[in-house]
Amino acid sequence: MARFTLPRDIYHGKGALEALKDFKGKKAMICVGGGSMKRFGFLDKAESYLKEAGMEVEIFDGIEPDPSVETVMKGADAMLKFEPDWIVAIGGGSPIDAAKAMWIKYEYPDCTFEDMCKVFGIPELRKKAHFCAVSSTSGTATEVTAFSIITDYSKGIKYPIADFEITPDVAIVDPELAETMPKKLVAHTGMDAMTHAVEAYVSTANSDYTDPLAIHAIEMIRNDLVASYNGDMAARDRMHNAQCLAGMAFSNALLGIVHSMAHKTGAAFADYGAHIIHGAANAMYLPKVIAFNAKDETAKKRYGVIVDYMGIADENASDDDKVSALIAYLRKMNDDLNIPHGIGTYGADSYPTEKGFVPEEVFLERLHDIAVNAIADACTGSNPRQPSVEEMEKLLKCCYYDTEVDF
């Protein structure tokens, strides 16, 4: 038996934020990040719409990018004091993910972070509050997914919390919020969305329900991401939908080892000033993982179908040639979006540079542990080809040196 779960309502299109005016409840806690939503007026709008709906509103702000366990616990304390019956998270993946974890702790104050990380082990929520997510970036799609990614900085590891219990009740996908994104954020979140769609399509948990969403998202992202990056606002608006479709696919089809590797390298070199941004990590690793997975016949055929839909190779070409075309196309997208091809050249502001943040000897010293952690990541199980620790180390090396994957 398989399950396909999405939010009950998805409001989309310009002005969708106004849906908050019709919410029924007494108290809403808005969870938000460091200031962009305030600066661009979306926080004030959300607050006034909820007040128009007759609700008392409190704001929990300051949720940092890649939120920590500590922030989750602080937010849950604030919820326990205020007792909201609606949690409304506005912003990128970070504040929405943090709010999801706060929600668990609010409903079950005795639940520890370790308890939350048990995959599909969250007890029944919605006894105290319902959850609405309003996304302002076009990538994570956390507004529709069963996931939340929280970082344990004491270990330098990102942990995915995964359970359909944390799939929001309501998602608001209003492209006006995404129009204020700076270019770099467009690039990173857009390649995150591309990775979600590709990994979902070749995942071992793919299904007739998720395939159309993944394929359509891939076609849209191929058509619109670079244009959106270059300032085309109609393309930016479409990307907001495309990333959401990719999210609906991967929330139900799960992901693969691109995400396992991104989760385990993201904070692993933070002490060297190299915080490897989630979307950039995915963009760098995706072509390598495609080459690795294509050794699996079923995955190779599925990459071929992706290529046919993208229209980037002759339909009569061999599957091997189609895989090569896909890898070349994604690398070209990275170039167009100013994203490096490997950790070794990942420099300041995530731009490509000759010598990146992470020194070779530090990478090699930490390689084994990262490989072990990546294999243990919740996203590894649904990858079409299961890597050994040795293969994962080799793959990560290819991602550092930007060398070809031929094993």
Ligand X SMILES: NC(=O)c1ccc[n+]([C@@H]2O[C@H](COP(=O)([O-])OP(=O)(O)OC[C@H]3O[C@@H](n4cnc5c(N)ncnc54)[C@H](O)[C@@H]3O)[C@@H](O)[C@H]2O)c1
Contact positions vs ligand X (CB under 6 A) = 33-34, 36, 65-66, 91-94, 97, 136-137, 139-140, 142, 145, 147-149, 158, 177-178, 180-182, 185, 189, 192, 278-279
**At closest approach, how far in Å is the CB of 381 from Zn ion?**
16
Give 226 or 276: the residue with its C-beta nearer to ligand X.
276
Judged by beta carbon distances under 5 to 8 A according to partner kind, the member of Zn ion, ligand X, none in contact with residue 273 is: none
| Nearest approach, Cβ of residue 112 and ligand X (Å) | 20
Cα within 13 Å of Cα(278), Cβ side: 29
* CB of 290 vs Zn ion, minimal distance in Å: 16
**Looking at beta carbons only, is 79 or 173 nearer to Zn ion?**
173
Going from the C-alpha of 254 to that of each of 85, 164, 200, 259, the distances in angstroms are 30, 12, 6, 10
**Minimum Å distance from CB 311 to ligand X?**
27
Comparing CB distances to ligand X, the nearer of 66 and 377 is 66
CA–CA separation, 330 and 332 (whole Å): 5
* 66 binding partner (options ligand X, Zn ion, none; Cβ < 5 to 8 Å by kind): ligand X
332 Cβ contact partners less than 8 Å away, ≥ 6 residues apart:
none
Q: How far apart are CA 86 and CA 126, in angstroms?
A: 9
Residues in the chain: 407
Please choose, from the candidates 55, 47, 54, the residue with its C-alpha nearest in 3D space to the C-alpha of residue 84.
55
Kind and range of the H or E element at 88? strand 86-91
Cβ at position 97, least distance to ligand X in Å: 5
370: closest CA among 273, 288, 263?
263
What tokens appear for 380 in the block? 């590894």
CB of 299 to ligand X, least distance (A): 21
Binds 33: which of Zn ion, ligand X, none (CB < 5-8 Å by kind)? ligand X
Q: How far apart are CA 321 and CA 350, in angstroms?
A: 31
Q: Which does 36 bind (CB under 5 to 8 A by kind): Zn ion, ligand X, none?
A: ligand X
Among residues 328 and 376, whose Cβ is nearest to ligand X? Answer: 376
Q: Which residue is nearest to ligand X (CB)?
A: 92
- Residue 68, judged by CB atoms within 10 A of its CB (0-12, 13-18, 19+), counts as middle
Distance CA 38, CA 59 (A): 11
**Closer of 165 and 192 to Zn ion (Cβ):** 192
Name the strand (E) or helix (H) holding 134: strand 130-135
Nearer to ligand X, 107 or 174 (CB): 174
192 counts as binding Zn ion under rule CB under 5 A: yes
- Closer of 162 and 325 to ligand X (Cβ): 162
CB atoms within 10 A of CB 128: 15
Q: Cβ-closest residue to Zn ion?
A: 192
Picked from ligand X, Zn ion, none, the partner binding residue 223 (CB below 5 to 8 A depending on kind) is: none
Which residue, among 223, 110, 118, 220, has the nearest Cα to 160 in the 3D structure?
118
* Smallest gap from residue 209 Cβ to ligand X (A): 18
Beta bridge mates, 59: 30
Which chain residues interact with Zn ion by CB under 5 A? 192
